[in-house]
């Protein structure tokens, strides 16, 4: 997830049970122009493997050059983003924009698969709009040109993030007798029960989890515990939350320096400490100072003040 799944966040998710993690999407055009904003996203830690690097674009040449650049970072997987609904991406036919030109989608994918020895996977949506959902056919064609797995978000581009994700067309992809690669479902897996439904009622091979993990890297462990026991794992204690926030901030600082590390970790705190009454004063301390020492001191204060708080 853009601006979310950087190496520190992915490392925390991995520690808490995620089986595979992916980078933020990276512009192929940015990579071939050596744009710092794109290049920094190639960084991966050994401890987060298996990890996929995700790229987007719609120009064949740029995508192939991007594959060569990505390979040098030695990820376990190269993932193609054919699902981003944002206007500035789709207007260039990239992301979900390519769902209006399936032959181009297949051609790009085939060329990228041929370019690399790494497994290539695709993340996409059901279709451009509800009148053009051909995901069963699209998935089969992508499989036939060599992708090793497909993740499908159960919404169309036109839907953006509105309404509910529809998992039925994803199950139709899985039930196509010609499909043999893993089919992962995505969209609205926000409880362990939803993950169980995706597995048992829809028969999918895995769940891709997005928003439910923001500020909640424990979600993966919670889902796995529920798979095993049909019981909910107790929510993380205050101590565990403070520890995660601390480690997140420290890894971010080590990775991109104090200024950026402090700034970019701020968006995670609200969720780490969600549900604590009268928390605003402490949250403000965490998100207003540019000085890491102040933020670490705020964490200590929170632990001292709310250490016994019982999370629901």
Ligand X SMILES: Cc1cc2nc3c(=O)[nH]c(=O)nc-3n(C[C@H](O)[C@H](O)[C@H](O)COP(=O)(O)O)c2cc1C
Binding residue positions for FMN: 54, 123, 153, 210-211
1 or 260: CB nearest ligand X: 1
Q: Among 29, 48, 188, 264, which residue interacts with ligand X (rule: CB under 6 A)?
A: 188
49 or 211: CB nearest ligand X: 211
Query: Would you state the torsion angle of the CA atoms of residues 93, 96, 100, 102, taken in this order, to the nearest 10 degrees?
Result: 100
How far, in Å, CA of 198 to CA of 185, rounded? 7
Phi, psi of 183 (to 5 degrees): -115, 120
Nearest to 108 by CA among 146, 47, 59, 152: 59
Partners of residue 52 on adjacent β-strands:
22, 77
83 sits near ligand X (criterion: CB under 6 A) = yes
24 sits near ligand X (criterion: CB under 6 A) = yes
Q: How many CB atoms within 10 Å of residue 292?
A: 17
- Binding mask 85-104 vs ligand X (x if CB under 6 A, - otherwise)? --------------------
Determine whether 185 is exposed, middle or buried from the number of CB atoms within 10 Å of its CB (0-12, 13-18, 19+). Answer: buried
Catalytic annotation on 91?
no
How far, in Å, CA of 200 to CA of 73, rounded? 36
CB of 129 to ligand X, least distance (A): 17
CB of 77 to ligand X, least distance (A): 13
- Binding mask 205-244 vs ligand X (x if CB under 6 A, - otherwise)? ----xxxx--------------------------------
Nearest to 218 by CA among 290, 300, 274: 274
Cα 132 to the chain's mean position, in Å? 25
- 178: Cβ–Cβ under 8 A, 6 or more apart, which residues? 140, 143
81 sits near ligand X (criterion: CB under 6 A) = yes
CB of 198 to ligand X, least distance (A): 11
206 or 305: CB nearest ligand X: 206
- Binding mask 252-271 vs ligand X (x if CB under 6 A, - otherwise)? --------------------
CB of 310 to ligand X, least distance (A): 27
Eight-state DSSP code of residue 233: P
57 or 282: CB nearest ligand X: 57
Residue ranges binding ligand X (CB under 6 A): 1-2, 4, 24-25, 54, 81, 83, 123, 153, 186-189, 209-212
Catalytic residues: 84
């Amino acid at each position: 997830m853009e601006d979310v799944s950087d190496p520190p966040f992915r490392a925390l998710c991995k520690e808490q049970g995620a089986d595979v993690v992916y980078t933020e999407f990276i512009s192929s055009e940015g990579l071939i122009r050596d744009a710092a904003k794109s290049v920094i996203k190639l960084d991966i830690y050994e401890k987060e493997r298996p990890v996929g690097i995700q790229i987007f674009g719609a120009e064949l040449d740029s995508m192939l050059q991007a594959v060569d650049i990505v390979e040098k970072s030695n990820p376990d997987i190269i993932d193609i983003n054919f699902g981003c609904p944002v206007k500035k991406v789709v207007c260039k036919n990239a992301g979900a924009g390519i769902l209006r030109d399936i032959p181009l989608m297949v051609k790009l994918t085939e060329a990228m698969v041929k370019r690399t020895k790494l497994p290539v996977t695709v993340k996409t949506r059901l279709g451009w709009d509800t009148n053009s959902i051909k995901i069963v056919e699209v998935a089969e064609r992508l499989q036939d040109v060599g992708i090793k797995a497909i993740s499908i978000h159960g919404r169309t581009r036109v839907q953006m993030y509105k309404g509910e994700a529809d998992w039925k067309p994803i199950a139709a992809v899985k039930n196509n007798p010609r499909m043999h690669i893993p089919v992962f479902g995505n969209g609205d897996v926000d409880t362990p029960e939803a993950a169980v439904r995706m597995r048992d009622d829809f028969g999918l091979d895995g769940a891709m989890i997005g928003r439910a993990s923001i500020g909640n890297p424990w979600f993966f462990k919670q889902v796995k515990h529920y798979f095993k026991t049909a019981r909910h794992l107790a929510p993380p204690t205050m101590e565990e939350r403070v520890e995660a926030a601390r480690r997140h901030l420290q890894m971010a600082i080590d990775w991109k320096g104090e200024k950026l590390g402090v700034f970019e970790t701020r968006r995670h705190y609200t969720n780490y400490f969600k549900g604590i009454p009268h928390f605003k004063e402490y949250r403000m301390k965490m998100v207003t100072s540019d000085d890491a020492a102040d933020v670490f001191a705020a964490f200590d204060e929170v632990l001292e003040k709310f250490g016994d708080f019982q999370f629901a």
